[in-house]
Structures are given as structure tokens and as C-alpha cells.
């Protein structure tokens, strides 16, 4: 089989069908997003399941997500929470937040999910002032220019063992271009931060599949 986009896509579809069959609630999120005209940039099913497994592995009770869109990744993460768990997700676009509210409620995890409308950096400041419990897992998937700022803010609300996941850190290789666009520059910058910040232990993997060529970084706050 040729190593091209169509083979990556077919293998990803096989992995999804074999390991992560989407039941109706998740399939309905995709339909609902499409009806509302949201861009189809949610994580792939096998990536959503990875987020869910990571949250289970760390025994997450408090999860923070930056970038809600229609709530697809939100639902995967919230499903890993215990009944007294909480997921706070930050979204700047009121229409995305409204669609996500409907989707998350329909998927049956609405009581666990708090959608905060606004620019994430501003909401981070509000969360800091609320002095809530530290987060066990943080998923960063919004405007890539602010990736490094989001990791720094997340560090202030973390504890030893908190896991920080950053989406889209490869961008089809654009992170190594001489003049990267602001998104690719932000993705590269966050990798450099994850590699140099002494409080973090991190790695990143390139991914191919239905979302094209991209990557995911995973970091753990040191004890």
C-alpha cells in the first residue's frame, strides 16, 4: 500500500471502526456541527479515545480544555470523569459554545461540563482568581499562537502529575518552515517550551490519518 494520504485515511478509518466504533451520540455531534456550519476540525475518533484513556490513566477528576468547538473532544474527556468530576472548557465563539452545550447535554455528560465563553487567556485569569482545585489533565486545542501562554497558565493551575496535551503541534511540517505562519510558529514555540521548562517532562509524536499530517505533544508536571 502506498504511503500516501489515501492509505493513511483508510488505515485511520480501519483503526476507528475496529477499536473506536462511534456510537450514535458521537456521530450525532458530527452531524450537529455540520448542520451549524462548524469547521470539521475536531479530533479524530482514535484521538478522542486517546484523550479518554489518558484521563482514565491519571484518574482525572478535574479537566481543563482550551478550545471547545462543538464539544466532540469534550465528550470523550468528560466520559472519563467520575460522577463528582468536573470539566471546564474554554471557547471564544458564542455559536460554537451554544452548539457544544446542546451536544454535550445530548451526550449525557452535561452535568459534568462547564463551558466558559470568552478569550481563553482572559478566562484563565478568572479561573486563577477563583482558586479552584488544580487540574489533573489539560487539553490545549484552540488558537495556536497562544499555545505557549496556555501551557504557562496551565502550569499555574497544576500539581505534580498533571498531564498537559497539546494538539496540532506539527501542522504538516509547517513548524520548520523559515517563515512559519503564526499558527505554526505557535506550535513550534510550545514544543520548545515543553522541552525547556524544568517543571515539565514531555514528548511529541507525529500523526497521520484522517486529519492529515500533524502531531500531539504530551507533558507531565514533575513531582
What is the binding site for Mg ion (CB under 5 A)? 141, 167-168
Bridge partners (DSSP) listed for residue 203: 218
How far apart CA 187 and CA 175 sit, in angstroms, is 7
Instruction: Please tell me the number of Cα atoms within 13 Å of 194 on its side-chain side.
Output: 25
The reply on whether position 189 binds ligand SAH by CB under 6 A is no
The reply on whether position 209 binds ligand SAH by CB under 6 A is no
61 vs 213 by CB, closer to ligand DHB: 213
C-alpha cell at 121: 487567556
The reply on whether position 218 binds ligand DHB by CB under 6 A is no
Work out how close the CB of 167 gets to ligand DHB at its nearest, in angstroms, rounded to a whole number: 5
Exposure letters 170-198 (e unless 16+ CB within 10 A, then b): bbeebbeeeebeebbbbbbbbbebbeebe
Q: Which one of residues 11, 25, 36, 119 is an interface residue with ligand SAH (CB under 6 A)? A: 119
Work out how close the CB of 43 gets to Mg ion at its nearest, in angstroms, rounded to a whole number: 6
200 vs 216 by CB, closer to ligand SAH: 216
Size of the site for ligand SAH (CB under 6 A): 18
Contact 135, 62 (CB under 8 A): yes
Pairing, β 158-167 against β 135-140: parallel
How far apart CA 82 and CA 61 sit, in angstroms, is 7
Q: Show contacts with ligand SAH in window 132-151 (CB under 6 A).
A: 141-143
The reply on whether position 12 binds ligand DHB by CB under 6 A is no
The reply on whether position 98 binds ligand SAH by CB under 6 A is no
Q: Which one of residues 20, 26, 43, 149 is an interface residue with ligand SAH (CB under 6 A)? A: 43
How far apart CA 111 and CA 132 sit, in angstroms, is 18
How far apart CA 54 and CA 49 sit, in angstroms, is 9
Q: Which one of residues 65, 91, 136, 141 is an interface residue with ligand DHB (CB under 6 A)? A: 141
Sketch the per residue contact string, 56 through 75, with ligand SAH: x for CB under 6 A, - otherwise: -----------xxx--xx--
The CA-atom distances, in angstroms, between 53 and each of 57, 86, 199, 214, 220 are: 6, 16, 23, 20, 15
Q: Show contacts with ligand DHB in window 65-104 (CB under 6 A).
A: none
166 vs 193 by CB, closer to ligand SAH: 166
Q: Show contacts with ligand DHB in window 168-207 (CB under 6 A).
A: 168
Which residue ranges make up the site for ligand SAH (CB under 6 A)?
Answer: 41-43, 67-69, 72-73, 90-93, 96, 119-120, 141-143
Amino acid at each position: 500500500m502506498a504511503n500516501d494520504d489515501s492509505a493513511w485515511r483508510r488505515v485511520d478509518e480501519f483503526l476507528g471502526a475496529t477499536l473506536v466504533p462511534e456510537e450514535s451520540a458521537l456521530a450525532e455531534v458530527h452531524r450537529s456541527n455540520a448542520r451549524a456550519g462548524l469547521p470539521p476540525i475536531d479530533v479524530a475518533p482514535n484521538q478522542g479515545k486517546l484523550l479518554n484513556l489518558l484521563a482514565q490513566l491519571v484518574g482525572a477528576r478535574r479537566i481543563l480544555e482550551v478550545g471547545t468547538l462543538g464539544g466532540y473532544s469534550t465528550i470523550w474527556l468528560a466520559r472519563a470523569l467520575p460522577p463528582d468530576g468536573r470539566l471546564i472548557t474554554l471557547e471564544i465563539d458564542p455559536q460554537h459554545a451554544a452548539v457544544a452545550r446542546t451536544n454535550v447535554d445530548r451526550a449525557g455528560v452535561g452535568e459534568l461540563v462547564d463551558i466558559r465563553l470568552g478569550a481563553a487567556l482572559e478566562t484563565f485569569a478568572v479561573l486563577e482568581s477563583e482558586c479552584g482545585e488544580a487540574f489533573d489533565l489539560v487539553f490545549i486545542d484552540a488558537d495556536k499562537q497562544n499555545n505557549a501562554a496556555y501551557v504557562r497558565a496551565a502550569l499555574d493551575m497544576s500539581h505534580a502529575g498533571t498531564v498537559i496535551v497539546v494538539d496540532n503541534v506539527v501542522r504538516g511540517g509547517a513548524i520548520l518552515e523559515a517563515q512559519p505562519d503564526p499558527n505554526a510558529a505557535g506550535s513550534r514555540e510550545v514544543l520548545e517550551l515543553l522541552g525547556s521548562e524544568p517543571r515539565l517532562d514531555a514528548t511529541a509524536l507525529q500523526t497521520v490519518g484522517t486529519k492529515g499530517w500533524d502531531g500531539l505533544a504530551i507533558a507531565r508536571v514533575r513531582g
